[in-house]
A and B are shown apart, each in its own frame.
Chain A
């Protein structure tokens, strides 16, 4: 079982690389170099902060876009090309296919993020004339961004298991935007009363919470990120994405592929 999932995952990764997904790294490097040079000239004492903010935001946006646009095609592309039938004709179960695809895309995003993180640290080294111990804190922010990718990948996969690619993309992107403002939703819930309060609270917990996974502003200002947050965020991402992948697998198990 594990071998089959690993095989599908590695194939998904190879396919993404063949599709030139990692080309976004070039754009990322250009953005970094450009911003470092530009802000070095037009601003005062915020070059380091700007590099951190631009880099981490870019890592997040590039990753989310890749997660959504590849995630929504994971199933539909296989159906369109009819390669899915070849795979399922082998001793591969549908849920294994879904789980394998999920891990394959997460692997792609992790590798992509690793390269971007290396580029980012190089830029930071250039701007700050070296690296400091506090810069390690930024790794936590990058780790949280990867957790965001894990959740958004699982959601893209969930939507793609029953909807068309375009609608899956819209749903996933809308959830990403709403999830980014999950804190506001909870605030609105506290202001509401009665049934509305419970309804909004329920919706707030049903939707993914990307707000707690965003510590870019904090690390840019050298503010520490607690170990408890690290542990709980990791657990949250694992549980939420597991629920979404289970949902995707359940739907895909029952889907009529004829």
Chain B
């Protein structure tokens, strides 16, 4: 009996020690091996094969692929990656398996279209995905809205953008702003106000936190660009009136130092330009970036390809 008790104690001790040891060794093994496979490997590339393998449960498998696409995008987004190699194949797989998975078209195309590091910077793939979505779901007006957005913001194809908004506005139940957007886009292609409205609509209508966060950053950056333009215009008027540049905002007759949307004061440079204090916190600003810096939604999209 005593022996059995000792044995039980010994076996319990061994169990705990061995298990703890195995966890420690496993941790070491993880460090020895290259990065795990989830990131850059798509085990199955053929949706037909996956469909057959899912034995009738393709809708569930589509959900899993869509979730994986979101996780993939989220993890890449967090590490400010400029490479989103698997995003399009994952979205294709999800939408092939379940052609009516509209969130995959809506949010997926936003992930695809935004320039790196906010997205994959692949607006043409986004257009292809949206067109596929529209073909499979002709009643989904939101897909037209996103399609118009991609055409307008990334491809600068204002005619196609206007047509997409117009088509979408004809769908029963479509939001009334689509009609307004169609008219404005066709009339004022490239206009600042239209672009701001588009981002505002994306911010207000998207259910995805990452997309909303991106839209907000764009809206803030546009506000900064507007502020900087107005302040620099005041500087120019002052310079032409007095013959020299102002050394502070006070000289311009502005009693309190103007602040950017994040609350930091704008900086007046000796050469008359105006800059934000922390330009990296406002990734999409275009006006008066420090020398060598590029607007993240312009030139980064062509890098690392």
Contact = CB atoms under 8 A, between A and B. Distances in A.
A and B found bound together: yes
Interface of A: 93, 95, 183-184, 186-188, 190-191, 205, 209, 211-212, 226, 228-229, 232-233, 235-236, 239-240, 242-243, 246-247, 249-250, 253-254
Interface in B67-116: 71, 74-75
Given A212-B30, A229-B29, A246 B75 contact: no
Q: Is the interface of B mostly helix, strand, loop or mixed?
A: helix
A242 B18 contact: yes
B4 A253 contact: yes
B19 A243 contact: yes
Given A209-B26, A236-B25, A229 B32 contact: yes
5 contacts: A186-B36, A190-B75, A226-B32, A232-B29, A242-B14
B187 interface: no
A186 B75 CA distance: 13
A246 B15 contact: yes
A198 to B, nearest CB: 13
Contacts of B23: 205
A155 B23 CA distance: 16
Interface size class of B (residues with CB under 8 A): 20 to 34
Interface of B: 4, 7-8, 11-12, 14-16, 18-19, 21-23, 25-30, 32-33, 36-39, 71, 74-75
A231 to B, nearest CB: 9
Contact of A184 (B14, B19, B26, B37): B37
B37 A253 contact: no
A191 B14 CA distance: 33
A190 B78 CA distance: 12
B29 A233 contact: yes
A236 B29 contact: yes
A45 B92 CA distance: 31
A11 B74 CA distance: 55
